[in-house]
Structures are given as structure tokens and as C-alpha cells.
Amino acid sequence: MSELALDLSDVAKTYPGRVRALRGIEMRVGRGEVFGLLGPNGAGKSTLVKILMTVIRPSRCSGTVLGRPVGDKHALSRVGYLPEHHEFPSYLTGRQMLDFFAALSGVPKATRRRRIGEMLELVGMEKWAEKKVGGYSKGMRQRLGIAQALMADPELVLLDEPTDGVDPSGRRDIRDIVARLRDDGKTVFLNSHLLSELEMVCDRVAIMVQGEIHSQGTLDELTLGQRVYEVQCLPEAEGVLRQAAEGLDDEWELEGGVLTVRTEVADVVQPLIDALRGAGQPVLRVQSKRPSLEDLFLQAVTDPETGRAKSPGAADNSDSGRGK
């Protein structure tokens, strides 16, 4: 059995009009991971997920889903999926809807009967099981959608904007569900632009911008080389701190009594603390900082030349040599 739940290389999609939604995605997601895909609207996140779910046909694609080629329908029986803008049949009750989609996944009747109760309880929708889906609120539909994705007890769960339209307590519930899935050894692929949500639950993330993966890895890997230490002193002690910092090999800056050193090693700031103490000056604060996911995201979507956000969406037909 492959150790990777998703192993994708060179996934490209060009829509009619030479709109290049994906430009050769390389991505690996290990089994049992919670993986987050983030990016601005129109970056190609949903297109990628839809390709994995056979909803969209790729222009180019090689890789596997749960060890089977992308597009293999058999693999889909082990995958659960919650689409972004789903619309479930309004004439079915919650129970009937879960039964219907589980049956489409090939789940036997006895198992469906058992799983429906479990899943409704998991998403807190037991009381609404016999009501028509047409009468549900958006948050309730989202919860039911998650239950639908989990009905076949999948090994891989793809959730496209799962917290969309869900209130804060609902979001916490969804995070708990994701954590529970991870504890059960499931692989969860989260597609979201809510960075805080992803930061809280994901083991690894990928940032997608304009149809390409800008960066991917654990938060530690992505922030490697971007950690800073801050040492704060009284304004009158700035001279002591500046003098001590002169001997550092790492990049630093001093402003308003706060010395910021860009380093991964805590030992680097020890001489600074020693110098302040030696001069009889108090050390007001020593803090290690690394960029948040939001910082990384903004870095990724900002054009380094203009300092402005890159144009939204993946549409770009300037390079027509690929993706045919």
C-alpha cells in the first residue's frame, strides 16, 4: 500500500479560451495527515480538488489517489468529498440524503443504516434527520454535507471550504471532527481560504497562487529562516544593545528599544541579554517569533516587484506553450 494518500505530479488544466487554471501541480500528501490547501479566490484550489474527484478532466495529469491513478472510479469508493457550493436534493430528508449518497458509494444497506445514525450524531444533526433538506439552514447543510462525505468511512476526506457559512461554534465542531478523523488515521485534505482554521488543524499546508504551488510543507518548514527574536530594553539602553548587536553575524534592526534579530538559534541573543545585564539595564522582553500562516500567505500573493497583491484568479493566457 502506498504511503501517500495523494501523489500528484504535473497536474494541469487549461479551460477553453486558453485560461490556464492549473499549471503543473506537484503535491504529495501522506496517509494520516491533515493537509491544508490555501490560496486566494480563483487560485485553482477547487479545480484541483475537482480533478481528483473526476468532476473536471485534467489537460495533463499523472499521479495517484490512494495508490490508484487519478480518475480511477474504484479509488473513489474510499474517498469522501464535500464540494464547495453543494446543493443537495431538497426533496430528501437528511436521513434519505445520507442513504442516497452512501448507496451511490456502494455502501451496503445494513452498514448505511448504522452509519447514518453515527454520522448524524457526529455532526449534531440527529434531531433534523427526518426533516427535508430544503428546510435546512446553510450551516446545517454544511454539517450534513460533512456527514455525507464520511458515510462510506473513507480513507481520504476532501473538504472544500467546510466552514463556509458555519457559525463559530460550528467551526469548532468541524475542527473537532477533523481532529477526530486524524486520530482515526484518516487523511484529511482541507481546501480553505480561512487561514486561522487551517493553522489550527493542519499538519502540512500548501499555498497555491495563480494555478501553481507557491510553497508547501509543515509550518516549521515553511517558516524556516524566517524566525526572529526580539529583545526589548529601555530607550536609554539602546546604545548598549546596539553595541552588542554590532558583533552579530545575523541580520538585525533596532527601533524603539526593540532589537529584532533574524535567526533560528536562540543562543544568538544570549550575548545581547548579557550585555544589558552587564550594563545594569533591565531586559523588558525576549520573544521568539515566526511568521503566521497569514504572513506566509500574504508573502505568497504579493508581487515582490510592485508590493501589491497579485491579480486574483488563475486566468492567464500569456504562456500558451503548456497545458494543452
Partner 1 sequence: MLVQTWALILAAYRELNAKKLFWITMGINLLVVLLYAALGINDEGVTLLHWQFSDEFFNAENVPPDLFYRFQFVSWGIPFWLSWIATILALVSTAGIVPDLVKGGVIETMLSKPISRTRLFLTRYSTGLIFVLLQVGVFSVGCFLVMGIRGGAWEPRLFLAIPIVLVFFSYLYAICALFGMLTRSTITSLLLTILVWFMLFLTNAADGLIIQQREGVAVQVERLEEQEANRAQVLTMTEQNLENTEPDSPMHGQMVRNVENRRLGLEDTRERLEARRASLEMWKKWTSAVGYARTVLPKTSETIGLLERYLMSREELGRLMADRTGIEINDDDDIPAMADPEAVRRAELAMRDRSVAWIVGTSLLFEVFVLGIATLLFMRRDF
Binding site for partner 1 (CB under 8 A): 15, 50, 53-57, 73-77, 79, 81, 83, 85-89, 91-92, 96, 99-101, 103-109, 148
192: left (phi over 0), alpha (psi -120 to 50) or beta: beta
Q: How far is the CB of 26 from partner 1 (least distance, A)?
A: 22
42 versus 271: smaller Cβ distance to partner 1:
42
Q: How far is the CB of 195 from partner 1 (least distance, A)?
A: 24
138 versus 172: smaller Cβ distance to partner 1:
138
70 versus 228: smaller Cβ distance to partner 1:
70
56 versus 279: smaller Cβ distance to partner 1:
56
Copy the grid coordinates of residue 190. Answer: 482541507
Cα–Cα separations (whole angstroms), residue 166 to 90, 130, 193, 230: 19, 21, 14, 37
Greatest distance between any 2 Cα atoms in the chain: 78
**86: nearest Cα among 157, 138, 36:** 138
CB atoms within 10 A of CB 257: 16
Rounded to 5°, the CA angle 260-264-268 comes to 65
Q: How far is the CB of 123 from partner 1 (least distance, A)?
A: 16
93 versus 292: smaller Cβ distance to partner 1:
93
84 versus 230: smaller Cβ distance to partner 1:
84
Q: How far is the CB of 89 from partner 1 (least distance, A)?
A: 7
57 versus 324: smaller Cβ distance to partner 1:
57
Rounded distance, CA 183 to CA 180, Å? 5
Rounded distance, CA 273 to CA 261, Å? 13
89 versus 217: smaller Cβ distance to partner 1:
89
Q: How far is the CB of 121 from partner 1 (least distance, A)?
A: 22
Q: How far is the CB of 179 from partner 1 (least distance, A)?
A: 23
Burial of 76-102, coded b for 16+ CB within 10 Å and e otherwise, reads bebbbbbbbebebeeebbbbbbbbbbb
Rounded distance, CA 271 to CA 154, Å? 54
Q: How far is the CB of 140 from partner 1 (least distance, A)?
A: 16
**DSSP code per residue over 186-201:** -EEEEE-S-HHHHHHH
Length of the chain (residues):
324
Q: How far is the CB of 262 from partner 1 (least distance, A)?
A: 44
